[in-house]
Amino acid sequence: MKMKMFYYYILILAAALWHTQARAADYYVEVGEVHITSDNYKNISAAGGFPAVKKGKVSFDNSTRTLTLNNVLIKPAEGKPGISVFIDYEWKKRPLIIKLIGHNVIEVTKESSVCTNSIPIVITGSGSLVASGNVSIFSGKQLTIQGGCTIEAKSPIWADTITINNAQVHAIRVLENEPCMSAYWGIKLKGGSYLASPKGATCEERSNMYHANWGWVFVKGEEICGEVLIKRGKNTGIDNPTTLPSTKEDEIYTLDGIRMKLPFEHLPKGVYIINGKKKVKD
């Protein structure tokens, strides 16, 4: 009897091990709250079990954590995000790279088009993305938009830090008095990207906003900007920084022509133009 029970438990253990080995590996990236796994990553479509993918081609390379959108329309059910990473249980902290090819649209209602809690996001490629939701793009870490892509954000963009490098971004707010773009630790424009509209707006740190205790936002005067357009190309507003007017109060600009109203010692690390001269803050 004891031997029979012994073999019985051995069979149960073997079955459990087989089930564990046979289980698909979760890649921790979701499209319309459907997880991409080692079983389904080759067919990220409605037919492959992703009903939010209405058209176009979606592919994923886990070795580089790159999700490629090729002329897609992603439209999840109400209350579900478009593309999301809740947490990377492998704790590798690798960024989610979203590569854009052609024209792409993510239509959501009460959630975000793209969101991660603790993972950086890199949006790149030569294509475009129209994003919507209560917040169009949200990253609890670094958000980088680069590579010549174009982003049309029909709702705010929020992140820990935001870097826009050789990309065009148009962002608008949904609710009155909320910023259209906000980052806790700073907004950086690089690679020729510059603030085209509104003219004369600056990037400042503000506190006691309705959505956060503090953060960096674009403002014009005392008003937080509800819409901004950041373009690619040469910023003619600061082509010759030596021609900036000299005043008693320091005039501080980023290399992309955004005027900063905070004192130099309160600014994040970077290179600035102060009264026509470059200065590095370490």
Residue 279 lies in a domain: no
Residue 237 is predicted with a pLDDT of 46
Query: What are the tokens at 38?
Result: 């080692």
Residue 7 lies in a domain: no
Residue 246 lies in a domain: no
Domain that holds residue 188: 25-235
Exposed / middle / buried, residue 64 (Cβ in 10 Å: 0-12, 13-18, 19+): exposed
Residue 222 lies in a domain: yes
Residue 10 lies in a domain: no
pLDDT digits (tens, 9 = 90+) for 51-93: 999 999 999 999 999 999 999 999 999 999 999 998 766 666 7
Spatial distance between the Cα atoms of 46 and 57, rounded to a whole number of angstroms:
11
Residue 265 lies in a domain: no
Residue 257 lies in a domain: no
Domain count, the chain: 1
Residue 101 lies in a domain: yes
- Mean per-residue pLDDT for 27-37? 96
pLDDT digits (tens, 9 = 90+) for 164-212: 999 999 999 988 888 999 999 999 999 889 999 999 999 999 887 766 6
